[in-house]
Structure 1
């Protein structure tokens, strides 16, 4: 029976390790960059692109009610996806008499789409805070989309399996390795003591 469980634990341990290897490295590195974000900040850069709203869509631009936040008309959202490769279908637009303004959140920066209602011209400005900010936002799942959120969930599940099977293997091999439980206890005790003694609410 012991041999059976050892085989099972070893199998699940290496499978979960293989599945989470790249993601675990990514989240470990970005944990460091997040912890030192103040010293790794980059100067923001901007890029602007312009386009003209097609005549067939200008009526949709003009008929938006003035004032407040309005949903982006589907036809305009499809055109913006073609012209600027952005997805604004589920975003709200700030509308006034002169322009339609849409903030486009993205990892590591943000985008801003302006549609001039009088001239039917459009400009899309992208502000980027650099690659470190980009990967930091991926670490937090900030503005990264639904699929990335699923990836984080999958990574978390894989890491839980990796950790629990690792603990079970420690349990089964602990008698032959006297430093197992002192080290495992330290891994639990260290964050608890640091939080109690040095983290103030």
Structure 2
């Protein structure tokens, strides 16, 4: 009968409907996961591009303290040799975090005179030095502000392992978002003639800039 779909046609339509629903599902899920990250990376892309024009006044705070006598033997050369690169003893690190506004982590540099621990972080810096003989502590904490903090998150600078995991998940979500978007563009391009010219422009414009204006 004219106008009645054959079983093969209905099967084909059903398949297309199924995959279209799958594509829309993956597209909106990946966009939801990557939305805040995309906003963050877009905004910090602008601030990084204009870093020289955005003035920042670093705030530097110095600290001093005295290590308790009972902890001083843990810094003795017999416990940690000169030239070693290893973390501060756990008891010393715990005491420092209690007394100073610093997060103690990473390997310290041990010389004959002192243990020096660099403490870089997003948007700032820091360090702590302990005299191995007297237990005298000097420390410094530098903050360059929120813009520098967000810029460093964009670059993954000194942000730690968990943030690197987040970036990996974010990148994967962006790839899914882009690929499903591309397939959806292909499916709807028949009714939107400007689709492929715009996609081509999205490739041609940065390629032309890279070829002709970046030296």
Aligned mates of 2:43, 2:110 — CA distance in 1: 38
Counterparts of residues 62-81 of structure 1 (less than 5 Å): 62-63=76-77, 64-66=80-82, 68-75=83-90, 76-81=92-97
**How many pairs align?**
197
Q: What is aligned with 1:87?
A: 104
TM-score w.r.t. structure 2 length? Answer: 0.85
**SS of alignment partner, residue 70 of structure 2:** helix
The residue aligned with 2:23 is 9
Q: Is the 8 A contact 1:108 1:131 kept in 2?
A: yes
Residue 161 of structure 2 corresponds to which residue in structure 1?
A: 146
TM-score w.r.t. length of structure 1 = 0.90
In structure 2, C-alpha distance between the alignment counterparts of 1:136 and 1:100, rounded to whole Å: 30
Counterpart Cα distance in 2 of 1:73 and 1:128: 24
Structure 2 gap segments, 5+ residues each: 1-14
Aligned residues of 1:41 and 1:133 also touching (Cα < 8 A): no
What pairs with 1:122-201 in structure 2 (closer than 5 Å)? 122-200=137-215
Q: Which is higher, the Rg of structure 1 or of structure 2?
A: 2
The yes-or-no answer on 1:41 pairing with 2:90 is: no
Q: Distance in 2 between matches of 1:165 and 1:147?
A: 27
Does the 8 A contact of 2:115 with 2:129 survive in 1? Answer: yes
Contact 2:74 2:89 in 1 (8 A): no
- CA drift of 1:153 comes to 0.4
Residues 47 and 125 of structure 1 are in contact (CA less than 8 Å); yes or no, is this contact kept in structure 2? Answer: yes
Q: Where has structure 1 moved over 4 Å in runs of 4 or more?
A: none
Q: Deviations over 1:50-95 (max 9, x none)?
A: 33212221012232444x453233233333333334132x323242
Q: Give the whole-Å Cα distance in 2 for the aligned partners of 1:183 and 1:32.
A: 23
Aligned to 1:108: 123
| 1:190 Cα deviation from its structure 2 partner | 1.1
Compute the RMSD of aligned alpha carbons: 1.7
